[in-house]
Amino acid sequence: MTDASEVTLEAAGPENASLLANLLELYVHDLGEIFPVAIGADGRFGYEWLPLYWSEPGRRFPFLIRVRGQLAGFVLAMRGSPATDDPDDFDVAEFFVLRGHRRDGVGGHAAFLLWDRLPGRWIVRVSEANRAGLLFWRRTVDAFARGSFSETGRAGSPHGWRVFTLRSDGQGANALEVRGDDGHSCA
């Protein structure tokens, strides 16, 4: 189990765009197990919204996850969740932990850091077909919110969604005590 003090969440700037684009390729490839994804003629999946993370500051928040200084994944968060009508809600848009760091607590620690960094109401959407992700998010949200969260279902295509809603006061959460799957994706 990775110690919480070894995990950092680093704001990503435009200079990290190509690094994030590379990581997004791995992320989308993994999502191909759940969703139909098409590869482009250039051999890449691409992520059309990535440039928005630098053109919409205050609304979109890109982060790199590091363990002992080494790259371990990324988080793309945004204000204004597609799951609610509230433009102030925060949304975990994309969340990815490299395979070598999964099931070691890295994802949970990164989620805690994210929620502490941006206080407010948070939405986490997870495809019901993403069984490992569902288990991870259910445990992580519960541990952070200490049971004070909601989980609802939402129709979707090709799969339904689970939507978790929680609050962060930005005061720092308890040490993560989640064991088991360390999910890699919100989707």
In the chain the domains, ranked by start, together with CATH numbers, are 4-168 (3.40.630.30)
The answer, yes or no, to whether residue 174 has pLDDT greater than 50, is no
Write out pLDDT tens, residues 135-162.
999 999 999 999 999 999 999 888 899 9
Q: Which residues pair with 62 in a beta bridge?
A: 76
pLDDT for the residue numbered 173 = 52
For tokens 């129709």, what's the residue?
Answer: 155
For residue 132, pLDDT over 50 is answered with yes
Q: Which pLDDT does position 175 carry in this prediction? A: 46
Between 115 and 181, whose confidence is greater? 115
DSSP for residue 15: G
Stated pTM of the model: 0.90
Cα dihedral 81, 61, 22, 136 sign? negative
Cα 16 vs. chain centroid, distance in angstroms? 17
Supply 172's token pair: 């720092």
Q: What is the mean pLDDT of residues 14-35?
A: 96
Residues above pLDDT 70, as percent of the chain? 92
Helices 131-145, 106-117: inter-axial angle, 10-degree rounding: 50
